[in-house]
Chains A and B, each alone.
Chain A
Amino acid sequence: MKDKRQRLLKWEFALVGFLIIELFLFGQLSPSFLNLNNLLYSMNDFVYIALAAIPVTFVIITGGIDVSIGAVMGLSSIVLGVLWMNGVNVWIALLITLLVAAVAGCLNGILVAWTNVQPLVVTLGGMFVFSGIALVLSGGSSVSGYEGISGFPNEFVGLANGQLVGVPNPIWILGLSILLFGFLLHFTRYGRNVFLVGINAKAARYSGINTRLIIMSTYMLAGFGGGLSGVILTSYFSSARSDLGSEAVLPIITAVVLGGTSIFGGKGSIMGTAIASIVIGMTQYGLQMVNMTSQQTNIVVGSMLIIAVLLRNTHWKKMSKSLSIMKK
């Protein structure tokens, strides 16, 4: 156990090291990059990835996957907008939106846990359904797809654009989310059960854990995360659109996997996911400063994903062991 923790810590340190090197390199390329205020406010651009990726870590630890998160983000954005347009108080609308997102995740979870259909297929179908419902909602209330619903009250726009003690609000929300989900995964019985389901679902079932409920709940958390991320993004752009998260799936999954979570389940950490999201966001931000469009930065994000898995697949321990044997 101690050995495992050490290895995890090492991976997170490697990520932090990588982040520092990256900041240094981009700082050389454009001096304004290293301005602390710039850095803090640039994080607003990609906090939403971390907010969605952190709960998805739970799903991937159980050995599942959720590709419907982007669609949940769009759905929650449009639900919030439509509710507000119809005269619901914006904070009540926000609560209802988070509830809708959690229910959407819950539906995924029920299908994954209680049928034999693979998680990828279920969430793929879920993705069509959720983004479809989002389109129906925006089409039904005759919202133009490009402009979306705008004109939210200032307090709501301030949710993502304001600041507290000099630090932008989204970073506070990210910190809160790391604390909450990190505690849930690493310090509670529930979290240990999530790991056990990922390591060996049969053993978990035989030791009296309700594996189906655990699996279902992880998808619910992921849905909730997608909802939170969609709400923050809506507030950030102060406009509700149905296609808000359509490009988010690649960076979200990359963040989780780059953060050290095994795609086969059983391994992972919240801190890793959070740091990896920042690494990805900073990479995108830095590359955009040297005149790449956000879609072109996908080349780098994709390469990072592949290289990270390649590095983790290499058995460093075995290699160093065989090296030391050779020395003897």
Chain B
Amino acid sequence: MMPFLIRVLKARELSIVLFLAGFFILVGSINKEFITGDTIALLIKSSAILLVMAIGQSFVLLTDNIDVSVGSTMGLSAAVTGVLLTDGYSLWLIVPAVLLTGVIVGLLNGLGIAYGKIPSIIMTLGMLGIIRGTMLLFTEGMWIEDIPNFYKELSGAALLGISLPVWIAIVLVVVCHLYITRTKSGCCFYAVGDNEEGAVSVGLPVKRVLVLSFIFSSVSASIAALLFVMNIGFVPNQTGSGMELQVIAAAVLGGVSLTGGIGSVIGAGLGAVFFTVISNSLVYLKIPAYYNDAISGFLLLAIVVGDSQFQTYIRKQSARIIRNGQKGENKGERQTTTIT
């Protein structure tokens, strides 16, 4: 019974769901409007962008790397989306073009990290500056407005009562989850992050996996940009700035470890929802919006530090149980031998 309990407690997805439920009950008990269906639907809709990016980021984090360029990638992709839309191109051309932007950025990141041996934080920090600057050269520092109405209306399009952005997020979660848990190449991400040298020695294409993870991360930022333009209807020149930090915070909240090999796509997604819920709940608590960052930051630190202490405790406990269990078995053997 105990080992099973520990396994459940170790599953980070569960603790985040419990946190989320507790948070809903807490805020709901103060303001009943918070737990109505409308509010929850709104919260999930507004977390779609962060959720998509957190899924992409989790691939990079799983390989023991980090991508801080996603915010600026989202900005550049949003600018590309906006310019192509206002020039009147068809969606069949725009979507591939925007995704290609992401692929190119991810490819550059991945090549520098896998083949140039540049630490990922440095490479993506440098790319953050480069991409942000490129976006501003591209838009000449202007905001892009006049996004055609048909595109803006897409965000309201709904199937079975679920709007398009949320459908995209759900499909991505399911596809990525199945890919990373059920396919051979998906498992490579865990293997590389858990033990890179080991992965090299068993013959995994480590460099290709690294490049792929950065492409996934950048493409997720491009998809988020498509959703962003759909939701907001214009492209400010600061689009996506600071987003990378929210994305990483969301993934970490969802139990993805920055040291690689631990975490799941579903966890990252839940983390993104939780992060959005925290920052949107303040309105319902009648706290002024400028408390937002302080409270999310404090909760992030509290949860991450608390969880790290808790996991250390659990690890010690389970180690003791295993030791005791072995002792018990030995004792049993000895007894049987004496009887015979």
How many Å from the CB of B212 to the closest CB on chain A? 20
Residues of A in contact (CB 8 Å), total 48
6 contacts between A and B (CB under 8 A): A118-B259, A120-B121, A125-B249, A126-B301, A306-B122, A310-B112
Provide the residues of chain B in CB contact with A132, threshold 8 Å.
Answer: 291-298
Q: Say yes or no: is A131 at the interface (Cβ < 8 Å to chain B).
A: yes
User: If A116-B308, A263-B119 touch, does A295 touch B301 (CB 8 Å cutoff)?
Assistant: no
Provide the residues of chain A in CB contact with B136, threshold 8 Å.
Answer: 293, 295-296
Provide the residues of chain B in CB contact with A128, threshold 8 Å.
Answer: 245, 249, 293-294, 296-298, 300
User: If A115-B305, A295-B132, A302-B128 touch, does A309 touch B122 (CB 8 Å cutoff)?
Assistant: yes
Instruction: Decide if A298 touches B294 in the complex (CB within 8 Å).
Output: no
User: If A257-B122, A295-B132, A298-B129 touch, does A117 touch B304 (CB 8 Å cutoff)?
Assistant: yes
Q: Say yes or no: is A44 at the interface (Cβ < 8 Å to chain B).
A: no
Instruction: Decide if A125 touches B297 in the complex (CB within 8 Å).
Output: yes
Q: Say yes or no: is A124 at the interface (Cβ < 8 Å to chain B).
A: yes
User: If A132-B292, A298-B129 touch, does A305 touch B305 (CB 8 Å cutoff)?
Assistant: no
How many Å from the CB of A257 to the closest CB on chain B? 6
How many Å from the CB of A311 to the closest CB on chain B? 11
Instruction: Decide if B118 touches A131 in the complex (CB within 8 Å).
Output: no
How many Å from the CB of A73 to the closest CB on chain B? 15
The residue from A126, A257, A313 contacting B116, defined by CB atoms under 8 A apart: A313
Q: Say yes or no: is B270 at the interface (Cβ < 8 Å to chain A).
A: no
Kindly report which residue of chain B lies nearest to residue A116, judged by CB atoms: B308
User: If A132-B294, A298-B133 touch, does A65 touch B121 (CB 8 Å cutoff)?
Assistant: yes
Q: Say yes or no: is B25 at the interface (Cβ < 8 Å to chain A).
A: no
Provide the residues of chain A in CB contact with B210, threshold 8 Å.
Answer: none
The residue from A116, A264, A302 contacting B133, defined by CB atoms under 8 A apart: A302
Instruction: Decide if A306 touches B301 in the complex (CB within 8 Å).
Output: no
Instruction: Decide if A135 touches B293 in the complex (CB within 8 Å).
Output: yes
How many Å from the CB of B78 to the closest CB on chain A? 16
Instruction: Decide if B126 touches A306 in the complex (CB within 8 Å).
Output: yes
User: If A128-B296, A295-B132 touch, does A264 touch B119 (CB 8 Å cutoff)?
Assistant: yes
How many Å from the CB of A94 to the closest CB on chain B? 24
- Bound CA span A35–B214, Å: 45
Interface SS of B by simple majority? helix
Instruction: Decide if A296 touches B122 in the complex (CB within 8 Å).
Output: no
Q: Say yes or no: is B150 at the interface (Cβ < 8 Å to chain A).
A: no
Q: Say yes or no: is B26 at the interface (Cβ < 8 Å to chain A).
A: no
Instruction: Decide if A135 touches B290 in the complex (CB within 8 Å).
Output: yes
- Bound CA span A131–B300, Å: 14
Q: Say yes or no: is B288 at the interface (Cβ < 8 Å to chain A).
A: yes
Q: Say yes or no: is B1 at the interface (Cβ < 8 Å to chain A).
A: no
Q: Say yes or no: is B105 at the interface (Cβ < 8 Å to chain A).
A: no
How many Å from the CB of A316 to the closest CB on chain B? 14
Interface bits A221-233 vs B (CB < 8 Å: 1, else 0): 0000000000000
Kindly report which residue of chain B lies nearest to residue A131, judged by CB atoms: B293
Instruction: Decide if A296 touches B290 in the complex (CB within 8 Å).
Output: no
Question: In A270-305, which residues have CB < 8 Å from any B CB?
Answer: 293, 295-305
User: If A115-B308, A127-B297 touch, does A296 touch B133 (CB 8 Å cutoff)?
Assistant: yes
Instruction: Decide if B301 touches A125 in the complex (CB within 8 Å).
Output: yes
Instruction: Decide if A299 touches B133 in the complex (CB within 8 Å).
Output: yes
Provide the residues of chain A in CB contact with B123, threshold 8 Å.
Answer: 306, 309
User: If A125-B249, A128-B249, A310-B118 touch, does A305 touch B132 (CB 8 Å cutoff)?
Assistant: no
The residue from A111, A131, A133, A293 contacting B141, defined by CB atoms under 8 A apart: A293
Instruction: Decide if A313 touches B117 in the complex (CB within 8 Å).
Output: yes
Provide the residues of chain A in CB contact with B125, threshold 8 Å.
Answer: 250, 253-254, 302, 305
User: If A128-B293, A132-B296, A139-B290 touch, does A305 touch B301 (CB 8 Å cutoff)?
Assistant: no
Provide the residues of chain B in CB contact with A254, threshold 8 Å.
Answer: 125-126, 129
- Bound CA span A89–B295, Å: 31
A-B pairs with the 5 shortest C-beta distances?
Answer: A128-B297, A132-B294, A302-B129, A132-B293, A299-B133
User: If A116-B312, A118-B259, A305-B126 touch, does A129 touch B297 (CB 8 Å cutoff)?
Assistant: yes
Instruction: Decide if A250 touches B129 in the complex (CB within 8 Å).
Output: yes
Provide the residues of chain A in CB contact with B122, threshold 8 Å.
Answer: 253, 257, 263, 305-306, 309
Provide the residues of chain A in CB contact with B132, threshold 8 Å.
Answer: 295, 298
Instruction: Decide if B304 touches A121 in the complex (CB within 8 Å).
Output: yes
Q: Say yes or no: is B134 at the interface (Cβ < 8 Å to chain A).
A: yes
- Bound CA span A122–B123, Å: 21
Q: Say yes or no: is B130 at the interface (Cβ < 8 Å to chain A).
A: yes
